[in-house]
Amino acid sequence: MACYQHLITGAKSETPDDFLGGILADDMGLGKTLSALATVLASEGHAAEFGALGASQSCTTSQATVVVVPSELLLNTWAEEINQHFHPGTIQWLKYHGQGRRNDDYRLGQYQIILTTYGTVMAECRRGGSALHRIQWYRLILDEAHTIRNCSSKQFKALNSIQSHIRWCLTGTQIQNSLEDLGSLIRFLGMPLFSDPATFRKYVAMVRLRKGSDIAEFENLRRILSSICLRRNRSILPSKGYSNEDRRVTLTAEEYGQYQTLEQACKRAIQLAQKRHGDDKVHHHRVLGALLRLRMFCNNGLDPRGTIIPWETSSHPDEVLRFFQQSGEAIIVFSFWKTSLDIVGNAMTDHKIHHLRVDGSIPAKKRNSILLEFQNESKWRVLLMTFSTGATGLNGLTVANRVHLLEPQWNPAAENQAIGRLLRLNQQRKVTIIRYVVEKTIEETVETKKLRKERLAGGGFLAKDSEEQKELRAKHWERMLEYVNAD
C-alpha cells in the first residue's frame, strides 16, 4: 500500500491531502488583476459545471467568482480592467456594493464575476443569511489579501465564512509584519495541516525563537511557498527599470540637542519596561509613544515647550524642494504623517510649485478626481500622498517617474507598495526613487536593520506568564534599546 509522508511535519497518510487555490504574489504592477480575470475566462466551462451541481445535490451553487477588494476605488479598477481587456458581453459581471445591492440577490447566479468589498462582506455577515454567505461559489478571490492578516479579527471570520470551491489570495506583500501574516492566508486557503495555527507556528513561525536556527525556518518556509505561491518580480518589466538615491539630512546643533532629550526619555521608558514594574500594556504604550515622538521629530521638529510642530527653517523641506526644482518631471511625495506633507506643501506654495494632495481625510470619490487631474493636467507636477492612501487601488500613477519617500518605514512593505504605484507594466520611463534619512537618529536604525514592525502586544499564542513568554519579552526590550542606540 502506498504511503505519503509530509516533508515538513513527517506525518504519514495513505492518500495525499490537497486543496484548490493559492497565493498570486507578483510584485505590484505586474498584472495580478488581469491574470485573475484571464483565469475566470479560461475556466468558464468548469465553473458552469460546478454551478449546475446544485440541482442534483439540493444545495445552492454558483458558477460565479466573487472578488473582494478593500475599497470602492479598487472596485472601479477591476471594472476598468474588465472593460479595457474584454469585448462587451464576454464576461457578465456585477458590482455588489452600496445601499441597493440586495435588490440583486435573486440573480447573483447569473453572473461570472461579482465584485464587492471587505466592508460589504462584513456587513452582510452581520446581517445573517445573506446571499454572499448562503451560496457556494465556484471561486473566491481576495485582492490585497494581506488585509486579512489578523486571523482573529471579525473581518477574517466574515471572509472565511464564505463558501467556495476554489480560493485565491492576491497580494504582493503576503508577509508584512511577521510570518503570522502568511499563516492567516494559509488558514483562509485551507491548506492541510498548516491551516491549524498551532501547527504553522510549530513548524514555521516560531522556529527561530525556539532554536535560533534561520536555516530550518527558511527551508520550511520555502517548501510551503513553493507549493502554494506563484510569484514574478519586477525584473520582467519591459520598462527602463529604476534607480535609488539616498539623501542624508543633518540636524542643526540645536535640533540635535532637542532630539537627544527625546532619545533619553525613550531609553528610560524601555528600561522601565525591562524591569517589569507595573502593567505591561502601560509600558507598551509609553514605549510606542516615545518612539513615535522620535520619528515625528525627524520630520517636524520641536518647539521650546516640547510639543512637536512643523518647523519653518529646517533643511528637510528645503532639501526636498531643491530636488523638485531640478526636475521638470512629474513627482509623487510620500510620508506617513499629514503634518509632514503640510510642511512640504506650504514650502511648495511659497515657491509657486503647483501640487495636489491625497490623504485619509479626503473621500474616495474626490481622490479619484484628484488622481485624474494629476494624470491629465500637465500643470500639476507634484502629488503629495500619505503611505496609507497610496497602498491600495491607485494604478494610474505611471504618469510620474520620480518618487520621494520622506522617511523610512518600520514596515518595508509600506515603501514597496508606494513604489509599486509607479513601477507597473505600463511605465515607459526609468523611475527614480529618492529616500530621505535624518543622520544620527532612529531613522538610520530603521533603515539599516530593515525592521519588521514590532508587535508590542505580541506573545498571545504562548501561555500567560510562561517562562518562554518572559524570555521573549526580555529579548524584545533588548532589541528596542538597540533602536535608540542605547549604551
Pull the grid cell for residue 203. Answer: 513548524
pLDDT tens across the length of the chain (487 residues)? 557 777 777 777 777 666 789 999 888 778 899 999 999 999 999 999 998 887 666 678 999 999 999 988 889 889 989 999 999 888 899 999 988 888 888 888 889 999 999 999 999 998 887 889 999 999 999 999 999 999 999 999 999 999 999 999 998 877 777 788 888 999 999 988 888 888 888 887 765 544 444 444 567 788 888 888 888 877 776 666 788 888 888 888 888 899 999 999 888 888 887 776 666 777 778 888 888 888 889 888 765 444 444 434 344 555 556 655 555 678 899 999 898 898 888 888 888 888 899 888 888 778 878 888 888 767 778 999 998 876 565 666 778 888 999 998 877 777 887 888 787 777 778 888 998 999 889 888 887 765 444 332 233 323 444 454 555 556 555 655 665 654 4
- Domain region containing 60: 4-235
The per-type count for the chain, helices as H runs and strands as E runs, is: 18, 15
Based on the domain organization, do 351 and 377 belong to the same domain? yes
Cα–Cα dist 262/282, whole Å: 19
Based on the domain organization, do 212 and 246 belong to the same domain? no
Cα–Cα dist 110/117, whole Å: 20
Q: What are phi and psi of 449, to 5 degrees?
A: -80, -15
Based on the domain organization, do 315 and 265 belong to the same domain? yes
Predicted pLDDT at 417: 79
Q: Would you say residue 460 lies in a domain?
A: no
Predicted pLDDT at 454: 36
What's the number of domains the chain is made of?
2
Pull the grid cell for residue 173. Answer: 506583500
Give the CATH number of the domain where residue 186 resides.
3.40.50.10810
Based on the domain organization, do 388 and 252 belong to the same domain? yes
Q: Would you say residue 469 lies in a domain?
A: no
Question: Among 341, 301, 295, which residue's Cα sits nearest to residue 437?
Answer: 295
Pull the grid cell for residue 160. Answer: 472565511
Q: What are phi and psi of 404, to 5 degrees?
A: -110, 125
Q: What length does the chain have?
A: 487
Based on the domain organization, do 353 and 332 belong to the same domain? yes
Interacting residues of 255 by C-beta distance below 8 A, sequence separation 6+? 301, 302, 314
Q: Would you say residue 483 lies in a domain?
A: no
Based on the domain organization, do 229 and 263 belong to the same domain? no
Cα–Cα dist 33/37, whole Å: 6
**Residue 392 DSSP label:** S
Cα–Cα dist 461/476, whole Å: 16
**Residue 236 DSSP label:** G
Among 182, 200, 235, which residue terminates a domain? 235
Among 173, 208, 235, which residue terminates a domain? 235
Give the CATH number of the domain where residue 328 resides.
3.40.50.300
Predicted pLDDT at 463: 42
Based on the domain organization, do 231 and 285 belong to the same domain? no
Q: Would you say residue 478 lies in a domain?
A: no
Predicted pLDDT at 460: 30
* 440 CA to centre of own chain: 29
Beta-bridge mates of residue 13: 4
Based on the domain organization, do 360 and 295 belong to the same domain? yes
Question: Among 154, 104, 91, which residue's Cα sits nearest to residue 131?
Answer: 104
Among 204, 235, 266, which residue terminates a domain? 235
Based on the domain organization, do 223 and 246 belong to the same domain? no
Q: Would you say residue 461 lies in a domain?
A: no
Other Cβ atoms less than 10 A from the Cβ of 458: the count is: 16
Based on the domain organization, do 229 and 307 belong to the same domain? no
Q: Would you say residue 479 lies in a domain?
A: no
Based on the domain organization, do 181 and 313 belong to the same domain? no
Q: Would you say residue 164 lies in a domain?
A: yes
Based on the domain organization, do 46 and 180 belong to the same domain? yes
Cα–Cα dist 250/454, whole Å: 27
DSSP letters spanning 90-140: SS-EEE--STTGGGGGGGGGG-SEEEEEHHHHHHHHHHSS-HHHHSEEEEE
Cα–Cα dist 478/424, whole Å: 40
Cα–Cα dist 187/183, whole Å: 6
Q: Would you say residue 259 lies in a domain?
A: yes
